[in-house]
Structure 1
């Protein structure tokens, strides 16, 4: 049974994030137009504007840029770390080609980069992620992929956590038992600021190892006009960036920011 706070948090995030939030704003506006024409039109246009702004590469870059203010991890910082920690980013529950369940695309990107760092440094690896719904914990799916697809066997597998805060709390307990206090933290650039805060709050020294940037010149050789238009990838990045800003706000309200 999932904790009520976890369910409530997910429900609130669905209401506040696209695609539902802009749709609700627009729908409320349309319902009000007959009696309150000016207010209804304002809300309808606001919903449309929010949808557009959260899918335009330029506005998404403005929203995401401050979250990705971390460079590629340096050789010096890697040399200071005692372990590599890779955060889960979701799973695919319907993957018959992998026997039932497997890691999501986001998680796969993270473990691929974590495996690269592990091979380069020979540092031990911790993977962390529980099972928000019924099924195999994400960390267990990560363990299988790391071993079978990348030839890396993680030393620690944390399977209880349901969010980033619990990733940090439960992982730190396991790491401290092994005398580890300095980690290279692997997650997506958009997720890094919030993750650092949670892990540093436990007393660990964190060296950010961001990957999968949402901003930057990914398509420098493409037509500038086409690359500035709304796209599926920019809409996802807009959703992800807004999700992280809401997470940072929640951290601040909880006294952890």
Structure 2
């Protein structure tokens, strides 16, 4: 129920979707007795969309998330296993498709080669709400990892999870971690606080290995007008979604803190 509800609510509350829906509403009201209000609503929705597309606001929203857990050196110490969260890969026409979060996958391969004894665990099923599932993210991960030379016997695939909470629960069941083992958790830096909170709540001790940064290290370095509207809108959508997700997961009791930290 939580999964379905979260998908439906976010469809409306996504900043980009919300701005477009409000603009469509304004267009409809323009032909009614509320035409004056429609003009103001249209201007407001367009202004909001422009703010997210071109202003520093999306990166300012994203920056605290990406700085919550420090970046780690790839070669540090022995590692039992490397856990990669889904959200970066898919399969289309029988071939692998990488999303803008592809650094999760490329960094996983780099870590796998630096730690040849470590298990490689990919967790991600299919988060489709309506369309039928034919291939999961795990199917894509298997093709990619083996194609890049990782031995199949090192790879463990968890293909049932649909969200971060299920990532943690199902992965723990799959690998059955033991005390003293060292597990790295690889996901986008902006997604790391919620991910760590969920794994801790599930009783799975993991070490944060954030990747896929979308902001600069210092906030002052990106306080400027953006020249790429699609990029700004994407960052806005991911950033606002993550803050909403942190609140929703905390209220649902899925994380150990509102804003998990080191």
Same fold (TM over 0.5): yes
Structure-2 change in CA distance of 1:108 and 1:75 (3 Å): closer
TM-score (norm 1): 0.81
CA RMSD of aligned residues (A): 2.8
Matching of residues 32-181 of structure 1 within 5 Å: 32=29, 35-36=33-34, 39-56=37-54, 58-69=56-67, 70-74=69-73, 78-79=76-77, 81-95=79-93, 100-106=94-100, 108-122=102-116, 123-132=118-127, 133-153=132-152, 154-176=154-176, 181=181
Whole-Å Cα distance in 2 between the matches of residues 244 and 37 of structure 1? 35
Long gaps (5+) in structure 2:
218-222
Whole-Å Cα distance in 1 between the matches of residues 191 and 78 of structure 2? 22
Structure-2 change in CA distance of 1:229 and 1:107 (3 Å): closer
The DSSP-based 3-state class of the residue aligned with 2:174 is: helix
Structure-2 change in CA distance of 1:41 and 1:56 (3 Å): same
Equivalenced residue count is 242
Q: Report the structure, 1 or 2, having the larger helix content.
A: 1
Whole-Å Cα distance in 2 between the matches of residues 72 and 90 of structure 1? 19
Long gaps (5+) in structure 1:
218-223
- Deviations 1:73-96 (CA, angstroms, capped at 9, x unpaired): 1368x426431100111544433x
Whole-Å Cα distance in 1 between the matches of residues 177 and 215 of structure 2? 38
